[in-house]
Amino acid sequence: MIELINVDKSYPNGVHALNQVSLKIEDGEFVYVIGATGSGKSTMIKLLNGEEVPDSGKILVNGCDVGALKHRKVPQYRRQIGCIFQDYRLLPRLTVYENIAFALEVVGMPKKQIRKRVREVLDLVDLQEKAKSYPDELSGGQQQRVTIGRAIANNPKLLIADEPTGNLDPEKSFEIIELLEKINRSINATIIMVTHDSVLVEKYKKRTIVLDNGYIVHDSSQGGYKSI
């Protein structure tokens, strides 16, 4: 479970990025975080993955008090989280296969197991035929599927997606969200997805948390886009 309790975060320039933010996300939920530019969405994600620490309040992720983690413990903590970004961030000199395998090598998985797991992941993201391709030989949607494969290779309990469809046309965006839904069901990962895409939010209705100026102004458990 994820719990934010009265979280405040400001930056050295005096901007209050998050104010008294409290929320609970149960295991296996798929949640959208929306809001205008500068409303605090990325800050919330950075707090969840340990990149930033709150000024006050508490952030609990599967029992771990993230804000209280020692600096050297953060990389280990982050291995439980899969991250998906708008700009993919694949390693350009590695093939699709190697990009996914790399995520498993860094956690010390034995080679034989890596081979098996990468095949399974390629199957899940439907990229078996592209295993030997390099990222620049793939379309945007395919690159995003590799990123998703890399993010889930290690069976994370939490998947954080920051504008995963930001660079894709609507049809490809639908494919990505349907893939994330499949992952949400098949490995029961909790998914938190930041998006600006009101069409997606309307079409694939889920719980939607709306941020405005660092405050949660709406949190629907029924889903649906709520304009602010």
Ligand X SMILES: Nc1ncnc2c1ncn2[C@@H]1O[C@H](COP(=O)(O)OP(=O)(O)OP(=O)(O)O)[C@@H](O)[C@H]1O
CA distance 169 to 140: 9
64-65 vs 56-61, strand pairing mode: antiparallel
Q: How far is the CB of 46 from ligand X (least distance, A)?
A: 7
What is the SS3 string spanning the chain? CEEEEEEEEECCCCCEEEEEEEEEECCCCEEEEEECCCCCHHHHHHHHCCCCCCCEEEEEECCEEHHHCCHHHHHHHHCCEEEEECCCCCCCCCCHHHHHHHHHHCCCCCHHHHHHHHHHHHHHCCCHHHCCCCHHHCCHHHHHHHHHHHHHCCCCCEEEEECCCCCCCHHHHHHHHHHHHHHHHHCCCEEEEECCCHHHHHHCCCEEEEEECCEEEEEECCCCCCCC
CB of 17 to ligand X, least distance (A): 4
For ligand X, the binding residues in 90-109 under the rule CB under 6 A are none
Nearest approach, Cβ of residue 180 and ligand X (Å):
19
Q: Is residue 35 a contact point for ligand X (CB under 6 A)?
A: yes
Return the structure tokens found at 92.
């350009």
Nearer to ligand X, 42 or 220 (CB): 42
Least distance (Å) between residue 41 CB and ligand X: 4
- Closer residue to ligand X (CB): 41 or 130: 41
Stretch binding ligand X (CB under 6 A), from 13-21, 101-109, 116-124, 164-172: 13-21
14 or 92, CB closer to ligand X? Answer: 14
Residues 40-59 binding ligand X (CB under 6 A) are 40-43
Residues 145 and 174 sit within 8 Å (Cβ to Cβ): no
CB of 65 to ligand X, least distance (A): 21
Told to check if 13 binds ligand X by CB under 6 A, we report: yes
Least gap, CB of 93 to ligand X (angstroms)? 29
Segment interacting with ligand X, rule: CB under 6 A, options 22-30, 34-42, 74-82, 138-146: 34-42
Closest CB to ligand X among 44 and 176? Answer: 44
Q: Which of 3, 5, 8, 38 binds ligand X (CB under 6 A)?
A: 38
- Is 14 a binding residue for ligand X by CB under 6 A? The answer is no
Binding site for ligand X (CB under 6 A): 11, 13, 15, 17, 35, 37-43
